[in-house]
Structure 1
Amino acid sequence: AQWALDSLLAGSSPAKGSIAVPHRLLHTAAIPFAPHTGPGPFDTWLQQTLNYTHLGAVRAAVTQRHDTRHPLQDRGEAHVTLITPPEFSQILAPAGVTHADLIRIAQQHRVQSIAFRPICIGRQQIPDPVEPGANQVVYNLIVSSPEWLRLRWAVWDHFVALGGEPSRWDPQYHYPHVTIGFTHRDLFDQDGVHKGRNSCWRPITLVD
């Protein structure tokens, strides 16, 4: 029940109600690596950068199917987060892992050339605490790559080598996605949602 992804990639008929995702969105090798760091607890993370332009058609298709009284917002960029700000500030940095370490490991793994595959369009939502009967909604492209896990395990190796407690951080706990849009704000684990296959909302079809 992976939204017939394998058959879609093989070129069979698109699944009913599927949303088209351009192949070009998956091609990131020519996009410069974008480092993100700063003094605040949410200022430092590691990402693979995508071409935001190629996400436009996906966002338009999702917007057409978006059933809520609130329009979708977005950040005007596209990426997959590989190390989250809380992972860095709360676990990795206290053990001595630096942003320079993340960049070094990312370069070793040629992060902008990592191949990945789209799984589905995901949707997460929670009740709006202010407006009765309304939901705060987030849409994203759920994606997957074994290379991202290898990169995260390399960060874990360095974390443990510096004396970090192995049980404090699980590299396998990773929900890679590309944010498409949200009604109020982005939603995270602490909001009680998970951006994995469990949140698949619409199937996808890869198109030229």
Structure 2
Amino acid sequence: MTKPPSALMLVLQLTCVVLTICLTALATDRQTAMSSGGGIIYNPDAPTFALPRDALDSHDVPFSNHSDSKPFGSYLQQTLDFTRFADLFKAINATVGTLQSRGEAHITVVTPPEYDRVLKPAGVTIEEIEDIARQCGLQSARLQPVCVGRFSGSLPHPMSEADNGAFLLYSLVVADVFGDLAGIRQEVFKLYRKKGGEGALFQPEGFWPHVTLGFDRRDLFIEDGIYKGSNYCYAPIHTTK
């Protein structure tokens, strides 16, 4: 016999629905502008790349758990079907020829540094974050591709000698136009504050969804000084059947 959902779970589900409706109605100027191409500056010599229309549809992709006691081993991601991104990676690599691929595709929703440095010290567990994500329908989040992003150059502040020199990184910049992922981060923030967390340390809106496609040395992050919003756009992208 199926166990009925608890009152807490029902409240959480209702909260996610209400929050999603509000975020859908209001949207954010940033994401709306991104999805429509407003304000995006492409490289003048960049080609236009293609992406399958269903590439960001992950409702049929199993949820992937990332919980590890090692430093930066726990985080939350929306798991995608890598096979739908393989041709895009090949097309980009054909113009460069030196990129590495992880062989998987995902969108990080709560980053390892956010969890290890902020959420975990406040008593928020990765299991609680994953429960929120499941109740809010993480794998059914509705997203739109914006552009192919690229970083080509040296880091502004290398953390070590190993980070000296040039880097090359490509990603698919994504718009959370219905606020599905933002809603999950808002619920995580509420739990964090409920447990006494300092609000200034976790910004739920500080989030630039993207899919890492390939890199020559390693992936790059905000901690490296790299932001992956519309500012990161290099080339246009169009969807195909």
* TM tier, smaller: 0.7 to 0.9
After TM superposition, list the pairs within 5 Å mapping 1:135-150 onto structure 2.
Answer: 135-145=166-176, 146-150=179-183
What's the secondary structure of 1:24's corresponding residue? coil
TM-score when normalising by structure 2: 0.76
Q: Which runs of 5+ in 2 are unaligned?
A: 1-32, 39-45, 156-160
Moved beyond 4 Å, runs of 4+: 1-6, 128-132
Q: 1:122 aligns with which of 149, 168, 173?
A: 149
Shift of 1:65: 2.5
Q: List per-residue Cα deviations over 1:60-79 (Å, max 9, x = no partner).
A: 1111223xxx7100111000
> Aligned partners of 2:36 and 2:61: how far apart in 1?
29
> Aligned partners of 1:121 and 1:107: how far apart in 2?
29
* Corresponding position: 1:48 with 2:78: yes
Partner of 1:58: 88
Closer, same or farther: CA 92–130 of 1 in aligned 2, 3 Å: closer
Partner of 1:90: 117
After TM superposition, list the pairs within 5 Å mapping 1:1-208 onto structure 2.
Answer: 2=34, 5=37, 17-66=47-96, 71-127=98-154, 135-145=166-176, 146-208=179-241
The answer to whether the 8 A contact 1:28-1:113 is kept is: yes
Equivalenced residues, count: 195
Shift of 1:93: 0.3
TM-score when normalising by structure 1: 0.87
Shift of 1:50: 0.4
Q: List per-residue Cα deviations over 1:95-123 (Å, max 9, x = no partner).
A: 00001111110011110011101110001
> Aligned partners of 1:127 and 1:158: how far apart in 2?
38
Residue type of the partner of 2:49? I
What's the secondary structure of 1:186's corresponding residue? coil
> Aligned partners of 1:127 and 1:109: how far apart in 2?
39
What's the secondary structure of 1:25's corresponding residue? coil
Residue type of the partner of 2:118? I
Q: Which runs of 5+ in 1 are unaligned?
A: 7-15
Closer, same or farther: CA 2–131 of 1 in aligned 2, 3 Å: closer
State the identity as a percent: 36
Residue type of the partner of 2:93? T
Residue type of the partner of 1:56? A
The answer to whether the 8 A contact 2:124-2:191 is kept is: yes
The answer to whether the 8 A contact 1:124-1:194 is kept is: no
Closer, same or farther: CA 130–200 of 1 in aligned 2, 3 Å: same
Shift of 1:40: 1.5
